[in-house]
């Protein structure tokens, strides 16, 4: 099957290369000539495990190519995936300018039946808008051609995107056309062998499914963070509570880990966009507002714990950070809790000494050179000469830690763990002041660290 993918960002590249990997012929189109040139040279614009090798083998096999030429891209595939960005606009909604620009392009150049597949995360009703834009472009050319628009949202987790594409729980397709159903079945047949994962529904239901899935997951996290904050005040251990509630299959063990707040390109943006859609339809989605509010508050808790441990005296202190990415196995720092923490520390006059296995280049790109930010080559260097250590991202390499050694490195024995990686008893036995998330009366009853200079 011939397939065109517009957009060579995260979703577009994963979609294009996974479809090529099962034998389809795929062209990925992007307006960014520089990015296409780099892709042709084998350079990935993002870090995603397994992606570079997959792109390379499919380019070599002649099934995957890249172009900036819109006319040939539209001429190529009967399926035209739109996988361009939908960044948040000023009001927290999704900015659709790139999606609609692709619709214009397809309408301008198409000469045959085309299925336009909305892969980008777009508000409910976008397929209708895409339909109108293509109609407008065809009308101005004075031609009448058949086409359909369907919704096929992605459910890719960064760091596990290839696994999610190839072995995802479901493949959602929103369409009312039998012809589209058949083409989409052909497209996904290689990934739909053992049991039927394809779910066909109306277009608006498919568009809403994507937002509902992310909002539900974000709700689980904010709920757990709320209970964790309560656990701290009550002297209960949230890890025991997590296991206790997770054992009920109606709740389940997945995605109920408390932490320092969710980040990334999806949850914050999608929860906001769904709340805004509700508002535009005269409905106040109170729960969604609360999910976002709890998360904003949670991202500030690392700083609050530090500030309390240092009695509010953070000026001139050096704080070590382990982890900058919003989660492990990615270099993405969008909406990352590390940013909320670093910015608060700088505002308080503290210095940051940070290490992340993948995200340091991204951190440099965002913040540039600053006197109060030192990026170091490994986790050992991060704590050298530091006053306290904060763990922000649960990279695997942080899971073991010699607590005695850490104590000998820090000028004050403060370890703040935003991901509940360690057993509190063990850490405290080593003489560290350990503040995790929701693990007993950590900050409420712990004695203040004696201030020394």
Which parts of this chain interact with ligand UDX (CB under 6 A)?
A: 154-158, 214, 217, 221, 255-257, 259, 262-264, 266-267, 326-327
- Find out whether 41 and 186 touch, Cβ atoms under 8 Å: no
418 annotated as a binding-site residue: no
> Nearest approach, Cβ of 356 to ligand UDX (angstroms)?
14
CB neighbours of 179 closer than 8 A, spacing ≥ 6?
Answer: 115, 148
> Nearest approach, Cβ of 113 to ligand UDX (angstroms)?
30
> Nearest approach, Cβ of 170 to ligand UDX (angstroms)?
11
> Nearest approach, Cβ of 421 to ligand UDX (angstroms)?
13
Chain center to CA of 437: 22
308 annotated as a binding-site residue: no
9 annotated as a binding-site residue: no
Q: Which is nearer to ligand UDX, 387 or 417 (CB)?
A: 417
What is the DSSP code string of 275-336?
HHHHHHTT---HHHHHHHHHHHHHHTHHHHHHHHHTTT--TT-EEEEE--SSSTT----TT-
| H or E element, residue 355 | strand 351-355
- Find out whether 226 and 262 touch, Cβ atoms under 8 Å: no
- Residue reference for tokens 């196995």: 329
Q: Which is nearer to ligand UDX, 77 or 418 (CB)?
A: 418
Q: Which is nearer to ligand UDX, 100 or 256 (CB)?
A: 256
326 annotated as a binding-site residue: no
Q: In angstroms, what CA-CA distances link 298 with 148, 167, 220, 331, 361? A: 43, 32, 14, 21, 26
Q: Which is nearer to ligand UDX, 81 or 326 (CB)?
A: 326
Give the N- to C-terminal CA distance of the chain in Å, as an integer. Answer: 69
**Separation of alpha carbons 215 and 195, rounded Å:** 27
> Nearest approach, Cβ of 162 to ligand UDX (angstroms)?
13
Identify the active-site residue in 18, 150, 187, 266. 266
Q: Which is nearer to ligand UDX, 148 or 154 (CB)?
A: 154
266 is catalytic: yes
440 annotated as a binding-site residue: no
By beta carbon distance, the residue nearest ligand UDX is 266
256 annotated as a binding-site residue: yes
Binding residues for NAD(+) are 30, 35, 86, 121, 158, 269, 334
Q: Which residues are annotated as part of the binding site?
A: 30, 35, 86, 121, 155-158, 210, 255-259, 263, 269, 327, 334
Residues with catalytic roles: 266
């Amino acid at each position: 099957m011939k397939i065109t993918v517009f957009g060579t960002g995260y979703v577009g590249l994963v979609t294009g290369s996974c479809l090529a990997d099962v034998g389809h012929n795929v062209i990925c189109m992007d307006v960014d000539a520089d990015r296409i040139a780099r892709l042709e040279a084998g350079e990935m614009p993002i870090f995603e495990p397994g992606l570079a090798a997959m792109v390379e083998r499919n380019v070599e096999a002649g099934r995957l190519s890249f172009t900036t030429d819109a006319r040939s891209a539209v001429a190529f595939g009967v399926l035209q995936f739109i996988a361009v960005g939908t960044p948040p606009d000023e009001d927290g909604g999704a900015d659709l300018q790139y999606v609609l620009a692709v619709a214009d392009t397809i309408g301008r150049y198409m000469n045959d039946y085309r299925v336009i597949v909305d892969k980008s995360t777009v508000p409910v009703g976008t397929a209708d808008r895409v339909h109108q834009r293509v109609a407008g472009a065809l009308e101005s050319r004075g031609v009448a051609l058949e086409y359909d628009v369907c919704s096929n949202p992605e459910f890719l987790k960064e760091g596990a995107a290839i696994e999610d594409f190839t072995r995802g729980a479901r493949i959602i397709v929103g369409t009312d056309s039998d012809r589209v159903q058949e083409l989409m079945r052909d497209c996904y047949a290689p990934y739909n062998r053992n049991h039927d994962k394809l779910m066909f529904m109306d277009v608006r239901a498919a568009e809403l499914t994507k937002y509902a899935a992310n909002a539900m997951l974000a709700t689980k996290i904010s709920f757990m963070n709320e209970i964790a904050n309560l656990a701290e005040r009550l002297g209960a251990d949230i890890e025991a509570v997590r296991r206790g509630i997770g054992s009920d299959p109606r709740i389940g063990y997945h995605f109920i880990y408390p932490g320092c707040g969710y980040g990334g390109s999806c949850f914050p943006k999608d929860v906001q966009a769904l709340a805004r859609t509700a508002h535009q339809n005269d409905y106040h989605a109170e729960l969604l507002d609360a999910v976002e509010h709890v998360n904003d508050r949670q991202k500030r808790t690392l700083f609050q714990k530090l500030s309390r441990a240092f009695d509010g005296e953070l000026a001139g202190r050096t704080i070590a950070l382990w982890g900058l990415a919003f989660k492990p196995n990615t270099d993405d720092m969008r909406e990352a809790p590390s940013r909320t923490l670093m910015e608060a520390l700088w505002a308080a006059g503290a210095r940051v000494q940070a290490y992340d296995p993948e995200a340091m280049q991204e951190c440099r790109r965002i913040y540039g050179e600053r006197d109060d930010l030192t990026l170091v080559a490994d986790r050992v260097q991060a704590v050298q000469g530091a006053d306290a250590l904060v763990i922000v991202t649960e990279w695997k390499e942080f899971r073991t830690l010699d607590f005695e050694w850490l104590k000998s490195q820090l000028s004050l024995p403060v370890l703040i763990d935003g991901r509940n990686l360690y057993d509190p008893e063990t850490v405290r036995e080593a003489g560290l002041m350990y503040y995790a998330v929701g693990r007993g009366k950590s900050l409420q009853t712990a004695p203040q660290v004696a201030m020394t200079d």
